[in-house]
């Protein structure tokens, strides 16, 4: 049974595997901007396990408050109230940070929004700092599983602008803003955690 706070079963399933990688990447104290926080389950799980970080949740207006009750209830000293941040809208309410995390956003955003996200992230990170992007991705134009293929069709049926992104396109985009792929961790359920670093 869950209470009335917004809840995602997928977040419950993936949060520990993601954390296992984040603890090897976000090793330095600092502010981590989360883009598209959704229910806030990731924000609470990661900030409680990584007390050297200050976690800054955010989401676009209309969704930014989805995580508020969960964050308040968690009473953690290192998690900040959510910001309204739409990657399209410059200037971002937080423009300098030490790391970025975003889960399951690249296939929901339109491609120009993905580009805006990479631009804003690259502008705010210092040299060598990480951007962790979790979700399903295609490799060499191919899906990694039939279920991802079905999910991609489902997304594209829902809205033309959505769809699973190809790693080659993301690499190309990243190179134009000064980010490069430092690591690619395979995760359960045919997902990946891509670790980009500012050059
Ligand atoms: C599938 S949900 C993922 C939520 C959460 N990260 C998770 O893994 O469950 C996609 C998220 O992307 C956010 N999003 C979509 N477009 C956005 C934009 N232009 N700027 C910021 N966030 C956006 C949505 O509001 C939503 O919270």
pLDDT (mean) for 127-144: 98
| Ligand 1 touching residue 114 (CB < 6 A) | no
| Ligand 1 touching residue 41 (CB < 6 A) | no
End-to-end CA gap in the chain: 46
In-domain check, residue 97: yes
Q: How does residue 176 score in pLDDT terms, banded at 50, 70 and 90? A: very high
The structural domain count of the chain equals: 1
In-domain check, residue 175: yes
Is residue 66 a contact partner of residue 59, using CB atoms and an 8 Å limit? Answer: yes
**pLDDT beyond 60 at 78:** yes
Percent residues over pLDDT 70 in the chain: 99
In-domain check, residue 3: no
In-domain check, residue 2: no
In-domain check, residue 1: no
Q: How far apart are CA 30 and CA 26, in angstroms?
A: 9
Domain CATH code at residue 170? 3.40.50.150
- Short-list 143, 139, 136, 145, CA closest to 192: 136
**pLDDT beyond 70 at 15:** yes
| Ligand 1 touching residue 82 (CB < 6 A) | no
Host domain of residue 124: 9-198
pTM for the whole structure: 0.98
Residue 3, pLDDT score: 80
Residue 106, pLDDT score: 98
In-domain check, residue 19: yes
- Expressed in angstroms and rounded, the spacing between residue 106 Cα and the centre of ligand 1 is 8
In-domain check, residue 122: yes
Sign of the C-alpha dihedral computed for residues 170, 175, 177 and 182 taken in this order: positive
Q: 119: burial class by Cβ within 10 Å (0-12, 13-18, 19+)? A: middle
Q: What string of H, E and C letters represents the secondary structure of 161-191?
A: CCCCCEHHHHHHHHHHHCEEEEEEEEECCCE
Structural tokens at position 64: 């930014």
- Expressed in angstroms and rounded, the spacing between residue 86 Cα and the centre of ligand 1 is 9
Cis peptide before 10 (omega within 30 of 0): no
User: Directed axis angle between helix 111-124 and helix 167-177, to 10°?
Assistant: 40
- Expressed in angstroms and rounded, the spacing between residue 38 Cα and the centre of ligand 1 is 6
- Short-list 76, 75, 73, 42, CA closest to 57: 42
In-domain check, residue 189: yes
């Amino acid at each position: 049974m869950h209470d009335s706070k917004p809840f995602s079963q997928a977040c419950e399933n993936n949060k520990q595997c993601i954390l296992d990688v984040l603890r090897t990447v976000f090793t330095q104290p600092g502010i981590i901007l989360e883009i598209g926080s959704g229910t806030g389950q990731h924000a609470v799980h990661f900030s409680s396990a990584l007390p050297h970080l200050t976690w800054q949740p955010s989401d676009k207006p209309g969704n930014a408050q989805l995580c508020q009750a969960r964050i308040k209830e968690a009473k953690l000293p290192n998690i900040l109230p959510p910001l309204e941040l739409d990657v399209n809208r410059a200037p971002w309410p937080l423009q300098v940070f030490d790391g970025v995390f975003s889960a399951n956003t690249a296939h929901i955003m339109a491609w120009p929004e993905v580009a805006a996200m990479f631009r804003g992230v690259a502008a705010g990170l210092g040299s060598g700092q990480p951007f962790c992007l979790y979700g399903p991705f295609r490799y060499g134009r191919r899906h990694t599983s039939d279920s991802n293929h079905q999910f991609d069709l489902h997304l594209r049926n829902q809205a033309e602008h959505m769809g699973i992104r190809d790693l080659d396109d993301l690499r190309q985009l990243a190179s134009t803003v000064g980010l490069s792929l430092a690591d690619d961790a395979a995760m359960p359920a045919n997902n990946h955690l891509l670790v980009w670093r500012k050059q």
